[in-house]
Structures are given as structure tokens and as C-alpha cells.
Amino acid sequence: MSARLGVIVDYSDDFIEASLDVIEFERAGADIVSVAEAYSFDAVSRLGYLAAVTSTIGLSSGVIPIYSRTPTLIAMTAASLDSMSDGRFELGLGSSGGQVIEGFHGVPFTAPLGRLRETVEICRAVWRREKLIHSGKHYTIPLTAVEGTGLGKPLKLINTPVRSSIPIALAALTPRAVAQAAEIADGWLPLLYHPQKAHLAWGEALAEGTAKRSPQLAALDVMVSTPFFIGDDEQVLEAHRQRVALYVGGMGAIGANFYNDLATRYGYGDEAARVQELYLAGEKQAAADALPDDLVRETCLIGTAAEVARRLSALVASGVTTVMIAPVASTRQGRVEAVEAARDLLRKA
């Protein structure tokens, strides 16, 4: 069975135009669409709209940050989207980062792994329509109980969900986070995924988590996002290079940049340190130029048809089971043709 083909709707896209794209992507054979959320328009509203204008394509959040909503609200929202789409929704969750959570939401960014684990537990209990009783380190439900008043009485979801188990994918980069995703999640959402070097960054973590994985869970769905463009256009590749430089050089601070750490685990420690040094000094173009060409090219699907086919096959061979592409063509026709091309290449991979 070939890997699934997904398409990404970015948080900065013109959503009305993007929704018309998604209708065409569905007709072109895409299996799932992921709607992103940052400090942007929310993903949930847009997913509800897509549920109404599509009929077969899967819908996923990529990703909802756990700090901006309570675990039970996340569960309620997922059940609602699953109902509106007749069982087509998949819940993408992540912690985001301190810059967004504290700087935009005004919520302390603490204990991301523990909060993610408890959120997953609570969501699954809600969907099973259990009377919700959760006593964790980070969430206690019911919060208080006052004898004789009815306060604190455990409640269960009023509606009956379409499915008692909605797939959950966790965004994770660090070894500890990846091990947790492999243990408890249905899917894993990595970024800057290098198929030939992924085992260096995450092999041990995936093995550790898989060893603890419940037999009730299916095999982990490895869902990799990547820009997609077939053609000889250096500007498209340069745009990806600039984005990699932003992640490796500009996210966080020295000693607190997960993407820089990832590049180091890939074997590019010296180069990653230099990129960060240049980027934080304001020399962004120099930082981009200092990136290893291999890191730039192997973390995207941009190039000639033969190059893209080779990299797509490498993704599948490395264990990727859902390829989420971001078509970067400037026209709708070009983006639909990109989805068709990716579909055909995946069938051969």
C-alpha cells in the first residue's frame, strides 16, 4: 500500500482561494488536507468550512496548540468536526513554543510533554463518552467537589461522537517528544525531515516509544510536510533555503533552538552553529548561504521530475506513511497539477 497524499493549507493563505484549491485537490486524488494554525486565523473555523464544501478528503489540524484551549474543549471540537465531516477528521496537536504561547496567548509555557500526554488521555475518554474523571499533574477534572451541591459531579459528553476514537497526531522534534508520540499517538508530525538521516535524529526515540506502545494502537502514521515543486526554478529552492535558515538560525536562542539541535543530530553541528551565529547577528542571507546544500535539498520536494521522484521514494523507504505537500505553484492549475504529479509519483514509490 502506497503512502497517503496530503496537502497543506498554510495559516497565511487567502482561505477563500485555498478552499477552492482544496475542492480541486479532492478531485485530483488527495487523501487528506491539513489546515495550519499559529498566531493567525484559527484552524477550527476553516476546517468546519472545508467539511461543508468537501465530501471525501480527510481533514486535519496541523496543529492545534494545547495551551490555547482546555483538553475537553479540544475533545469537543474534534468530535464536532468529525461529526460535520462524517468521520473524516484527524486531530493534530502540538505544544507550539514559548514565543507564541506566552507572547500571543499570555499563558505560561510549562511542561509541554506532560500536558500533551494528559490532553490525549482526556480526549480519548471524552470520545468514549465516559464520565470524565481525570487526576493528573497538570489537569484535574472535576476541579472541585462540594458534597450535597452537585458541584464536581463527573460529566460525560452529551452528544454521541461519530467515532469513539479519532486519530491523534503529535508534532514532535526532540527525542523525548518523539518517544512520547511513538508511545501514545496515532501519528507523528516532524519538521525538516531528512529521509537519509532521520534515523540519526530519531531512531532511538522511535524505538523507545514503540516498545511502550499499546497493542490497541495501529502502526504509527509518520506524516511529513514538505514544499513541492517540479521544475528548474532556483527562486523556489531559495525560498525553502531561507525558511530553513529561519528555523535553524532564528528560532529561539543559542542553546534553546530545537531545529538547530535537529540539524546537529543530523551531523551538521558546526554548520548549524555558524548558521545560528550569522542569523542572530542579522546576517540572514549569509546564514542561508551557510546551510549545507544537502540539508536544504533533502528536506523538500523541489527540483526536476527525476529529483523529486527520487526524494519521494526516499521518504517512503524511510518509513513515511503520509506525505503532506505544500504546492508552491503560483496558479490554481499549477497547484492541482502538482497534486496530480505527487499522486502519480507516490503510486510508483
Alpha-carbon dihedral sign for residues 54, 59, 65, 68: positive
4-230+304-348 is classed in which CATH architecture? Alpha-Beta Barrel (3.20)
3-state secondary structure of 7: strand
Residue 233 pLDDT: 84
Burial class (CB in 10 A: 0-12, 13-18, 19+), 22: buried
pLDDT the model gives residue 347 = 94
Domain coordinates in residue numbering, the chain:
4-230+304-348, 232-302
Distance CA 145, CA 147 (A): 6
Say if residues 308 and 237 touch (Cβ distance below 8 Å): no
- Report the C-alpha gap between 176 and 321 in whole angstroms: 21
What pLDDT digit, counting tens, does each position of 311-344 carry?
A: 999 999 999 999 999 999 999 999 999 999 999 9
Kindly tell me the sign of the dihedral angle through the C-alpha atoms of 79, 84, 85, 91. Answer: negative
Residues 248, 280: Cα–Cα separation, whole Å? 11
Are residues 131 and 155 in contact, defined by beta-carbon separation less than 8 angstroms?
Answer: yes
The pLDDT assigned to 306 comes to 96
What per-residue string of b and e applies to 265-293 under the rule 16 or more CB within 10 Å gives b?
bbbbeebbbbbbebbbeeebebbbebbbe
Q: What residues contact 245, with CB distance under 8 A and at least 6 apart?
A: 275, 279, 284, 287, 288, 291
pLDDT of residue 22: 98
DSSP 43-111: HHHHHHHHHHH-SSSEEEES-EEGGGS-HHHHHHHHHHHHHHTTS-EEEEEE---HHHHTTTS------
pTM: 0.95
C-alpha cell at 206: 522511535
Q: For residues 321 and 223, is the Cβ–Cβ distance under 8 A?
A: yes
User: Which residues of the chain fall short of a pLDDT of 50?
Assistant: none
CB atoms within 10 A of CB 212: 11
Asked if residues 6 and 34 have their Cβ atoms less than 8 Å apart, the reply is: yes
